[in-house]
Chain A
């Protein structure tokens, strides 16, 4: 059996605000295997982005990783490092960030600097982690980094790469900018790519192009991808394994086919029912999830979903269900399927 590339266990991230403590991630666990596409789905405030920032040690103050481990298998050795224990500005974290774990952010407009050309920004990353491209760890020359950047632009399907690398981010269209961002994320041949809502800000036909590109690159380089989105359609098209999050906890996880065709958790079921499809009946009331997302200062006790759950029982408000196997490859945190609570 292959070892996971990254293994998150019982991760907790909280933000100490004036108004109180926000537990953005409250005991999240999942694994990602080498070369796997893991889809993380959830609504706003479910902690999906904070989890990813924690993996990269990019949680901003007043946020803090309070508990849990993030074990990452480094490229060179068989040993794993616990990213949660590494100092965010330390040499090892800086060596991993960008080089072994790369991020594709949601808003490429905000992620690129407007005063440097996109080519320069990508070349900078290549120069910084340059030994990945040359045997023996020799430092790269600027011209070499530029050539690599042109090659990357060609790989991600940008036409006229020699000209485009001298463009500023604001001169590129949304689709091209996101492609350039993907080129930057791939520039150091990462083993894990975190794509945080990479297509949310772009149009549907461009989204289809970017998704096809990511699928193609994933197959070509065998990079593992954590794909974060709120769009169940995108998850169904991209992921092989899915993690469903709600209020900082994993509600359910399993292979994509099981999640969509045999969901176990009431939240997953409700989420799938509430999206209008391209095939269903039109102009009829959609099944909805009652109520609203609770305020972060006001987390419900017990299972975070119980106030909105159609199947809630007395026990659901008293204890937090833990994530347990409920089918061959599927896990769920729900007392309908098991009765193992989290230790109080």
Chain B
């Protein structure tokens, strides 16, 4: 671990499948099985994939909202000390909670409807030892201003706000403890187009102002492309490609990434296309296919792909791909 803020190595999270009266374990859903990446301070890594690919599970493991099954999550604390979040005992997590925060997808479900903004946004401060209500109110006012809301709003309840405003409140709460790493799980996918752009602009501005590091989890490639320095693509629990944003869009080195890009409907009626639509469906992570998990849907698949699972390897500087033919083929 050199100068990076976060380094994830071989992350795994399996959920047991139980059956019968005694709930005996009959198998495992390999929700996350092989995720490796590093995050430098101040950068944004976009984590994309379709539903069920394990992107949310991976981000929850990093937050230690759930305990990973295997792998390492090395995090460099503000003090400079490096800890492994994957194995850190519960009791030692509290100081890290302030440094790693989360922005949720659903701005309606993630705020407590019985608490005013002061209490919603101020709760992380209270937990982290700011007992004085006066002091908390000052900090909440400052946070609301930061996300573009009026400080007077702090005595209102969440129901008085629109979706976009609630997402701003959620962002203010995430920033309350001066975090260094913010995990944003689909922060704009529940918002309308005109509001989505406002929230994306806010996130970019806050990142620059507060030197934040973002792990931006989303399924919308155009949103991820807009906000990320680098992009990681997941498929059935595995990281299949990781590269700088411009690079991955210029020359994707994994057929799944290429198919994902082709599937995005382009907002221009003059560019209509029907070719290269990915057939088939995402396999179940409880029973993934042999060899490369993508081979049943891949138009370039060979006998080798069916038999041998590819490793994630560096095909160009900073460009990683989990495909046998990466670097040899244009997808």
Contacts and interface: CB of A to CB of B under 8 A. Distances in A.
Interface in B265-303: 265-272, 274, 277-279, 281-282
A271 interface: yes
Interface residues of B, number: 51
A207 interface: yes
A270 interface: yes
A37 B258 CA distance: 29
Contacts of A175: 281
Interface stretch (B29-37, B82-90, B98-106, B224-232): B224-232
Interface string B237-251: 000000001100100
Contacts of A276: 197, 200, 222-223, 225-226
A211 B266 CA distance: 13
Interface stretch (B111-119, B132-140, B174-182, B187-195): B187-195
Contact of B268 (A44, A176, A239, A260): A260
Given A260-B267, A276-B225, A212 B274 contact: yes
Contacts of A233: 264-267
Contact of A282 (B196, B197, B226): B226
Contacts of A289: 194, 197
Contacts of B245: 282
Interface in A275-296: 275-278, 280, 282-289, 292-293, 295
Given A205-B278, A293-B162, A278 B249 contact: yes
A211 B278 CA distance: 12
Interface string A247-291: 000000000110011000000001110111110101111111100
B38 interface: no
Nearest to A257: B269
Nearest to A231: B265
B146 interface: no
Nearest to A239: B269
A234 interface: yes
- Name which of A208, A231, A271, A287 has the most chain B CB atoms within 10 A of its CB: A208
A232 B44 CA distance: 26
Contacts of A52: none
Contacts of B192: 43-44, 230, 293
B193 A288 contact: no
A204 interface: yes
Contacts of A274: 193-194, 196-197
Nearest to A273: B197
Nearest to B220: A204
B225 A282 contact: yes
Contacts of B51: 174, 203
Nearest to B284: A173
Contact of B266 (A205, A237, A272): A237
B204 interface: yes
A204 B267 contact: no
B265 A207 contact: yes
Interface in B12-45: 44
A280 B200 CA distance: 15
B171 to A, nearest CB: 16
B222 A275 contact: yes
Interface in B150-203: 162-165, 192-198, 200-201
- Name which of B197, B261, B265 has the most chain A CB atoms within 10 A of its CB: B265
A206 interface: yes
B169 to A, nearest CB: 13
A109 interface: no
Nearest to A213: B277
A285 B219 contact: no
Contacts of B197: 274-276, 286-289
A231 B189 CA distance: 12
B267 A286 contact: no
A239 B272 CA distance: 11
B205 interface: yes
Nearest to A287: B197
Nearest to A204: B263
B312 interface: no
Given A278-B261, A282-B228, A288-B194, 16 more contacts: A204-B220, A204-B263, A208-B277, A233-B265, A236-B269, A260-B269, A260-B270, A271-B193, A274-B194, A277-B222, A277-B266, A277-B267, A282-B226, A282-B245, A282-B246, A289-B197
11 contacts: A205-B263, A232-B267, A236-B267, A256-B269, A274-B197, A275-B193, A278-B266, A292-B162, A292-B165, A293-B195, A295-B162
- What 8 A-B pairs are tightest by C-beta distance, nearest first? A233-B265, A276-B226, A203-B50, A289-B194, A208-B263, A43-B192, A274-B197, A286-B197
